[in-house]
Structure 1
Amino acid sequence: MKQRILLILLMISVTYSQNQKLTLEGSIELGLQNNKELKIAQSKLRSSEAKISEVNSMFLPQLKLMANYTRLSDNVPPFQVTVPLLPTPIKISDPLLNNYTLRLSIQQPLFMGLKLLSSKKAAEYNFDSAESELNKEINETALNIHNAFWNYYKAEEVKNLLEKSLQQIENHLKDTKNFLDNGLVTRNDYLKLQVQYSNTKLQLIEAKNNLEVARAIFNKTVGLPLEAETEAVADELEIQNDDYDPKKLIIEAKQNRDEIESLTSRLKAAEENITSARSGWFPSVYLSGNYYYSNPNTRFQPLTNEWKNTWDVGVTLSWDIWDWGLTSAKTTQAEELSIQTQLSLDKLTDNIEVEVYQNYLNLVKSKEKVVVSKISVEQASENYRIISEKFKEQLATSTELIDAEVSELQAATNLTSSLIEYKMAIVKMEKSIGRKIY
């Protein structure tokens, strides 16, 4: 019974792997779950969050426990005092060779030259930057999935078109063979169709290979095994009634792009790091306290072999009066990093403007190509229908029929390519202005 259940489960698993149909939405969801780059970005985000916790802990009192044992050598003399007019010294205490100390210390920073506050803000800005980087990586991954999906879908459609064209040529070959047997066409006409059949078959072989390559790329993009049997499923592609204003698109991109948000946060963090570097010019002030439990306790004289406790509280000021330009060098480095980040932000903004405008032009172009391709398909299909009917009536030559078939196939292929190019142009346009494409 168990063997039958295992066999059924295995068959279900194999059947599922052989018939895995994926929509665009399903592909994106699957790809985002399995993408390694996203996992790296998520790890960086968690690291940035941990950095905030690290800096916050520096604002809080630091509690430390220390234990110490010391053994003195046996030749230590007793503690004694020599008094004038007395022949022998007065012994105060015998030497205690074993020393035990427990110390519990607490230290609270009061002022660090704004180092802690600026470090906290810098960590928070770096976290915001990592969060924006994660969002950017998600969008980049989604774009790769879009591209892999539509290339896979296109390869499948091209293969289907070639198979359809091959079937049409086979039908014409049968008709032409009958015409040849009845002396209605020349052998040359029949050979021309055979050559066209062979050429189309070669194209189909190439198309099938391209399909397998596209499938493999798609599978790895969404995190599936290389040879997984998948199928890209999509609704009929149509042109959308969209009307984009390039100026508004550029404004939206500057407001929404994750890359700009990330660099802006980095710039703020760099400015806070300047303040942190300058803290070396200011004193540091700490409030500290200690609790001692020792045997012997050196604060009690004379020393006795007893456990005694004492405590102390104090304020400590530490100020580096001269550090040979260390603070100045750190400050200069922080300032230059801020300048570099600002220039990178300006450069990124310029590049985004060009990217948005270029994607806008590509979208307009691809939309026009779809319109022209649809007209070409209608014309080529009608031309093929007319020539095919004429050929059956022996009013058209095999050359005209072949030309009509080639034109119809090329027009259909161009339409498929144009529709997918248009679809990807929309996706790239949406991504370039900072919209989510997942």
Structure 2
Amino acid sequence: MRRIRKTIYSVAVLCGVLWGCAGTYSSALASDEKPLTLKMALELSEERNLDILSAREELVRAKGKIVEADAEGLPTFNAGASYTRREAGKEDILEEDVYSAGVTLTQPLYKGGQIRAGKRQASYGLLQAENFYKETREQIALDVYNRFYAVLLEKENVATAEDALAFAEKYLEEVKKKRVLGLATGLEITRAEKQLAENRSALIRATNNLKTAHLDLFELLNLAPDAPYMVQGKIAYVPIDGGDLALSLAKALELRPELLRAKNLVKEREQSVEIAKSGLRPSVSVSGSYRYDDPNQTGYDKKDTWLARLNVDIPIIDSGATHGRVVQQTALLEQAKRGVEKKEEAIRTEVQSVYLDLDTAAQVLKEAKVNLDLAKETLRLAEVGYREGVGIQLDVLNARASLTQAMQEHSAALRNYAYTIVRLKKAEGNLVDEPVLSSIEE
């Protein structure tokens, strides 16, 4: 028996040590977590987001197109050599090995305007890539705000669920004490236990929603699901005045990269028309070449030959091929012009809609705050009435459920108001350059 007790004691000590080590390890894991602020999330998106990285490669490609377009007007230098092994033994073949080599330098002078138009088109293509890069950054920044705010909202919902659960646990204990004193019934205990079970389920759902929101944010930032980051901050109420719709519209029409891309596309299409028209225009180039041939095979005394040439090509008839290309490119040009008009109207509509949404969000937030205050007061009065015997238990339970809902609605309204301000910056086209960081309390 003594040996058994000693064994049990040893096992208990070992479990205690292991439990302490596990607790230390958990603390170490928690200490390894890095705080992730909104500013850090925006910076990480610039460094790691796959869409932004892809847009940067588009910039590289556009710069390569400029190099290619410039090369169309630069000289080309080609060299070549040949060696032939012939069968000897016949009278007309004087030697078995035949050598030749040559170099050619060609400089285009005029290609019907194709060279100049190609350079301009490439430069507009670079502007297109730059605007696409900015457009991508603006959209990803908006997504970062959206998902970051979603995490903060779910954190508030978890806190609300924890508060409701704590209330339910405390309330169940009070009802049990009243039952002992004969002041509560078994039905009231059952109701309190039911509320406790519902609040536990609500906390589980809120916790899982928070984990999902973290995963969505990490995916956007191209982070591993188990990355050691913990979102930090709390959505704050930062009211803004009514704003200036006309000023916002002017900013949007000046800064929105989507509109700038549409305008650059028109310029790019104009150069495509010029390139198509070059099919019926003359082209001029000069070239010089030097060639070495085996004199024993050519029959000449000299073994090298110099040649200079001026090439002028004047197309006369191409059976309508150039006309067909011009018609196609002109149609694409007209489509691009219509695209600019369509984009301008869409931007105007978006800015006006965001202003309406901002006004709505402000009113909803105001009403949610009033509803939250009323819910708190209703619960206080219900608890006092039930305690004094002038109220019923259902009043307390319903008041507590209403308070939980009011807290959730207030958090959602606060998040929606803050996010609508971000949407306004995005609609104006300067979200990246003027980030909205004051809406977060660190």
Q: Under TM normalisation by the shorter chain, which class is it?
A: 0.7 to 0.9
Counterpart residue number, 1:4:
none
Q: C-alpha deviations, 1:238-278, integer Å up to 9, x for none? A: 13223223333222211111001111111101101100110
1:67 paired with 2:66, answer no
1:192 paired with 2:187, answer no
Partner SS for 1:376: helix
**How much has 1:229 moved relative to structure 2?**
5.3
So what's the TM-score if we normalise by structure 1?
A: 0.87
Paired residues of 1:283 and 1:320 also in contact (CA < 8 A): yes
CA distance in 1, matches of 2:132, 2:385: 63
Paired residues of 1:291 and 1:310 also in contact (CA < 8 A): yes
Instruction: Please tell me the residue identity of whatever aligns with 1:288.
Output: S
Larger Rg: 1
- Among 312, 323, 329, the residue aligned to 1:328: 323
- Among 40, 50, 62, the residue aligned to 1:36: 50
Matching of residues 305-320 of structure 1 within 5 Å? 308-320=303-315
CA distance in 1, matches of 2:26, 2:192: 45
- Among 304, 323, 338, the residue aligned to 2:333: 338
Paired residues of 2:257 and 2:429 also in contact (CA < 8 A): yes
Instruction: Please tell me the residue identity of whatever aligns with 1:335.
Output: T
Matching of residues 204-219 of structure 1 within 5 Å? 204-219=203-218
Structure 1: gaps of 5 or more residues: 1-10, 79-93
Partner SS for 1:315: strand
Distance 1:12 1:116, change over 3 A: farther
CA distance in 1, matches of 2:69, 2:345: 35
**How much has 1:167 moved relative to structure 2?**
0.3
Counterpart residue number, 1:84:
none
CA distance in 2, matches of 1:297, 1:115: 45
**How much has 1:128 moved relative to structure 2?**
0.3
So what's the TM-score if we normalise by structure 2?
A: 0.86
1:410 paired with 2:436, answer no
**How much has 1:75 moved relative to structure 2?**
7.8
- Among 321, 345, 348, the residue aligned to 1:350: 345
CA distance in 2, matches of 1:47, 1:37: 15
Instruction: Please tell me the residue identity of whatever aligns with 1:52.
Output: I
Partner SS for 2:105: strand
Counterpart residue number, 1:153:
152
Instruction: Please tell me the residue identity of whatever aligns with 2:133.
Output: L
Partner SS for 1:250: helix
Distance 1:182 1:280, change over 3 A: same
Partner SS for 1:241: coil
Matching of residues 92-103 of structure 1 within 5 Å? 95=94, 98-103=97-102
CA distance in 2, matches of 1:290, 1:77: 33
Matching of residues 374-413 of structure 1 within 5 Å? 374-413=369-408
- Among 363, 367, 372, the residue aligned to 2:362: 367
- Among 19, 22, 28, the residue aligned to 2:36: 22
Aligned residues: 409
Paired residues of 2:94 and 2:297 also in contact (CA < 8 A): no
Paired residues of 1:239 and 1:367 also in contact (CA < 8 A): no
1:257 paired with 2:256, answer yes
CA distance in 1, matches of 2:249, 2:321: 44
Structure 1, 211-220 or 118-127: larger mean CA deviation: 211-220
Q: C-alpha deviations, 1:126-168, integer Å up to 9, x for none? A: 1100110011011111111111111111111101101111101
**How much has 1:333 moved relative to structure 2?**
1.5
Over the residues paired in the alignment, what is the CA RMSD in angstroms?
Answer: 2.4
Paired residues of 1:177 and 1:190 also in contact (CA < 8 A): yes
CA distance in 2, matches of 1:394, 1:114: 96
**How much has 1:100 moved relative to structure 2?**
2.1
Instruction: Please tell me the residue identity of whatever aligns with 1:316.
Output: N
Paired residues of 2:152 and 2:234 also in contact (CA < 8 A): no
Distance 1:235 1:213, change over 3 A: closer
Partner SS for 1:174: helix
Instruction: Please tell me the residue identity of whatever aligns with 1:31.
Output: S
Distance 1:13 1:53, change over 3 A: farther
**How much has 1:324 moved relative to structure 2?**
1.7
Structure 2: gaps of 5 or more residues: 1-24, 436-442
Paired residues of 1:18 and 1:228 also in contact (CA < 8 A): no
CA distance in 2, matches of 1:266, 1:122: 9
Counterpart residue number, 2:110:
111
Percent identity over the alignment? 25
Paired residues of 1:17 and 1:228 also in contact (CA < 8 A): no
Distance 1:56 1:70, change over 3 A: same
Q: C-alpha deviations, 1:2-42, integer Å up to 9, x for none? A: xxxxxxxxx89973796232111111211222111112111
Q: C-alpha deviations, 1:35-81, integer Å up to 9, x for none? A: 11112111111111100001111211111111123455658766xxx
Paired residues of 1:115 and 1:279 also in contact (CA < 8 A): yes
Partner SS for 2:305: strand
